[in-house]
Amino acid sequence: MYKWNKCLETGHNKIDNQHKLWISALNSVTDAFLEGKAKEEIAKTMEFLILYTIKHFSDEEDLMLSYNYTDYFMHKRCHEEFKINVKSITRKLIKEGPSEKLVEIVIFTVRDWLINHIKNNDFQMINYIKTREKRRLPALETIKFT
């Protein structure tokens, strides 16, 4: 189990809330395995993780594009590689069943990648966005001309 930690907060509410939900889903995989739930329950949770990962990455990528993030392509490449890895692990999990070793691989691979990605790539992205927001000019309708 991994509990949400303040050191993972980027300061961007939408991104942080998505990260919290992602960690919660990952913890559900752990719970399902520890409680001896059927293969289908773990597979269902993993399917959610995959779909949610795609949605979260899409939201992050849209955010990066809206701010012309300079490291967009590198960040997107990390996302693409991770999606491939998660899908591969999930296929193996469904095919072989939820053995202790395989569930550990799922949990540690996803958790470790996510935490490292947040602390490195996402913090860098959000800091870039915060810097850009400070430099943005107010909308034309809010400027008073005298």
Residues in the chain: 146
Q: Write the DSSP assignment of 49-90 as a string of letters.
A: HHHHHHHHHHHHHHHHHHTT-TTHHHHHHHHHHHHHHHHHHH
Q: Is residue 5 part of a domain?
A: no
Question: Which two tokens mark 84?
Answer: 């491939």
Is 60 exceeded by the pLDDT of residue 143? no
Q: Is residue 59 part of a domain?
A: yes
3-state helix, strand, coil in the chain (%, to 5): 80, 0, 20
Q: Is residue 142 part of a domain?
A: no
Summarised one tens digit per residue, pLDDT across range 29-79 is 778 777 877 666 777 777 787 888 889 999 999 999 999 999 999 999 999
Query: Residue 43: which CATH number?
Result: 1.20.120.50
What's the domain range around 113?
13-20+39-130
Is 70 exceeded by the pLDDT of residue 144? no
Is 60 exceeded by the pLDDT of residue 145? no
Question: Based on the structure, what is the number of domains in the chain?
Answer: 1
Q: Is residue 101 part of a domain?
A: yes
Summarised one tens digit per residue, pLDDT across range 66-116 is 999 999 999 999 999 998 888 888 788 778 877 777 777 777 888 888 899
Q: Which amino acid is at 106?
A: V
**DSSP 8-state secondary structure symbol assigned to residue 118:** I
Q: Is residue 106 part of a domain?
A: yes
pLDDT of residue 118: 93
Q: Is residue 34 part of a domain?
A: no
Q: Is residue 73 part of a domain?
A: yes
Q: Is residue 7 part of a domain?
A: no
